[in-house]
Amino acid sequence: MKPLLVRMLAGLMISGSSAAAQAPDCGQTIQALERVVAAQRRLLNDWAGLTRYGSENTEIRPPAPGEERVVFLGDQITELWGRGNAKFFPGKPCFNRGISGQTTSQMLVRFRQDVITLRPKVVVILAGTNDLAGVTGPATQGMMAENFMSMTELAKANGIGVVLASVTPVCDCFTNQTRLRPRGKIIGLNGWIKGYAAQSGSVYLDYYSALADGRDFRKGLTSDGLLPNDAGYAVMAPLAERAIAQALGKK
């Protein structure tokens, strides 16, 4: 029995040492889970994110005569634009209304509050990557299409020019991004967005071609395979400016 007891004690000591060594990883895991829980709590309390910019919107003055105000509506790719060294259109009347993790259905709900009430000349809509990932549940291309169409129709009914941006590429350069956002589905959705932009008299903003290397996000332009880095935003900015100028001319 003694040899068995010795082996059992040795095993417990090894397990304890292993658990102690892994403690920092456990702490990081707990923090990550806490962030997920907090995000889900916010989602339950305010599904569309209406409180994110609600108060700020009420404090914004009406546009001055001749002011060509632009609202960028989107998800994390829009929200994080300007957080690093790549500034968000400094000196120009551009408003960032991105919310991380959002899908087209959530953006549609807050479209009146976060776009129409600001009375812009143009709205730039960048959406779809989280729909493809099923962040708020399964979403077919038909469901996404209806949301894009509804936002476009709301904008045009209020005299706002529309720029529809392509979904940006992803890559597995850092972590596996293509499992949630398959390359083929991104390309298929972008094909629909481009076609609908032409059909509806909107401007198609092709970020995808400028950021992609083949069908992958160019590694030097992304921070994690999903989000652009400063270099990526630097590529996107002049494309957005040209699309906005085109929308102002069309409108």
CA separation for the pair 168, 147 (Å, rounded): 18
- Domain range summary for the chain, segments of one domain joined by +: 66-250
C-alpha closest to that of 230 among 130, 90, 81 = 81
- Is the pLDDT at 33 greater than 70, yes or no? no
pTM over 0.75: yes
* Strands 94-98 and 216-217, bridge-based pairing: unpaired
User: Residues 99, 105, 107, 110: is their CA dihedral positive or negative?
Assistant: negative
Q: Where are the beta strands (DSSP E) in the chain?
A: 70-74, 94-98, 122-126, 161-165, 203-205, 212-213, 216-217
CA separation for the pair 164, 152 (Å, rounded): 9
* Residues linked to residue 189 through DSSP beta bridges, in sequence order: none
Residue-wise pLDDT for 36-89, tens only, equals 665 566 666 789 999 999 999 999 999 999 999 999 999 999 999 999 999 999
CATH number of 66-250: 3.40.50.1110
User: What pLDDT does residue 69 have?
Assistant: 98
- Is the pLDDT at 171 greater than 80, yes or no? yes
User: What pLDDT does residue 35 have?
Assistant: 56
